[in-house]
Amino acid sequence: MAAKDYLRERFMPHIWCPGCGHGIVLNNLVESIDRLGLNKNDLVLVTGIGCSARISGYVDFHTLHTIHGRALTFATGVKLARPELTLLVAMGDGDALAIGGNHFIHAARRNIDITALIMNNRTYGMTGGQHSPLTGYGMKSITAPLGNIEQAFDTMELAKAAGASFVARGTTYHVRSLQKLLTKAIRHKGFSVVEILTQCPTYFGRKTKAGTAVDMLQSYRDNTVPVGSEAKQKNPELIERGIFVQEERTEFCAAYEGIIQSSREGR
């Protein structure tokens, strides 16, 4: 099917700024769904609040636009109630790891079969460019005019330590590999995390002098390397992309089916 068959034209035009990377994520997501041949009736996309959260309105799946930080918990309810559905959760960096940080680590710990996209633009875009837990030390933001004194999370390490069984990072520059990452993540049975570096020229670009959308895309090209590459050992400042974790591990809903069986057998 064509990309437009997965989109709701009624919702267009989208609200994202010119140059925003979120549209690239949307396009890749839709391509992955098409490649996987999934039925739209079996797909549920859950989002929280923020620029990223608007992605749920644009796709022709069952869509649930919820409250800030809690998308994974709504998704957990849907998934446990109907395990046969495919659950996608798209979050921003603040949504997923600040207000929603607790839910993120617990969804990972449970290894519930949900694919979590963290659309990381390193800022709160919708409220005007405040720093998030992924902005990083020294960066300026609307609420850190003299520079951020907080360290950033390493999303990959956090997801890994919390127990996610699929952990990957992509960028909006590396579109072909991003589509492959998303396809693998959705196919993976368990909690899958895909962090996507996506540019916010409007706020992050301006406040940090990271430049235009093109400048930021070029920085993804120049400052990221495939995971495990030698370049990273020579230059620790480089950001790795690719698959960090891919393991078969007991999935929560499958384990719950076991509980149902045991309790019915009176064990």
Partner 1 sequence: MNCENSRDRRLLFLQGNEVCVEAALYAGLGFFAGYPITPSTEIGEQLSKRLPMLGGKFIQMEDEIASMCAIIGASLTGVKAMTATSGPGFSLKQEAIGYAVMAEIPCVIVNVQRTGPSTGLPTGVGQGDVMQSRWGTHGDHAMIVLTASNHQDVFAVTVEAFNLSETFRTPVILLFDEVIGHMREKLVLPEQGEIPLVERLKTSVKEGTNYHPYLPREDGRLPMSDFGGVHRYNVTGLFHDMWGFPTTDPNTAYELLHHLVDKIESASQRIARYNEFFLDDAESVLISYGASARSALHLVESRRAVGERLGLLELQTLWPFPAAIVRERCEHAKYIVVVEMNMGQIAQEVKKAVNDPDRVFLANRFDGNLITHRDIKNILRVIRGGGM
Sole binder of partner 1 in the list 52, 76, 123, 192 (CB under 8 A): 76
Size of the site for partner 1 (CB under 8 A): 40
Residues between 224 and 263 that touch partner 1 (CB under 8 A): 256, 259-260, 262-263
User: Which residues are within 8 A (CB) of 260 and not within 5 positions of it... i.e. 6 or more apart?
Assistant: none
Using the rule CB under 8 A, is 102 a contact of partner 1? yes
Using the rule CB under 8 A, is 11 a contact of partner 1? yes
- 75 vs 97 by CB, closer to partner 1: 75
Using the rule CB under 8 A, is 41 a contact of partner 1? yes
Stretch that binds partner 1, among 80-88, 136-144, 167-175, 177-185 (CB under 8 A): 80-88
Distance, first Cα to last Cα, the chain: 48
Using the rule CB under 8 A, is 77 a contact of partner 1? yes
Using the rule CB under 8 A, is 63 a contact of partner 1? yes
Specify the pairing of strand 239-246 against strand 224-226.
parallel
- 143 vs 262 by CB, closer to partner 1: 262
Using the rule CB under 8 A, is 80 a contact of partner 1? yes
- 234 vs 267 by CB, closer to partner 1: 267
Q: Are 69 and 48 in contact (CB under 8 A)?
A: yes
The minimum distance between CB 34 and partner 1, in angstroms, equals: 16
Using the rule CB under 8 A, is 57 a contact of partner 1? yes
> What amino acid occupies position 82?
R
- 53 vs 181 by CB, closer to partner 1: 53
Identify the sign of the CA torsion 125, 127, 133, 138. Answer: positive
CA atoms of 25 and 165, how far apart (whole Å): 22
Residues forming contacts to partner 1 in the complex (CB under 8 A) are 8, 10-11, 40-42, 44, 46, 56-57, 60-67, 70, 73-82, 84-85, 102-103, 106, 256, 259-260, 262-264
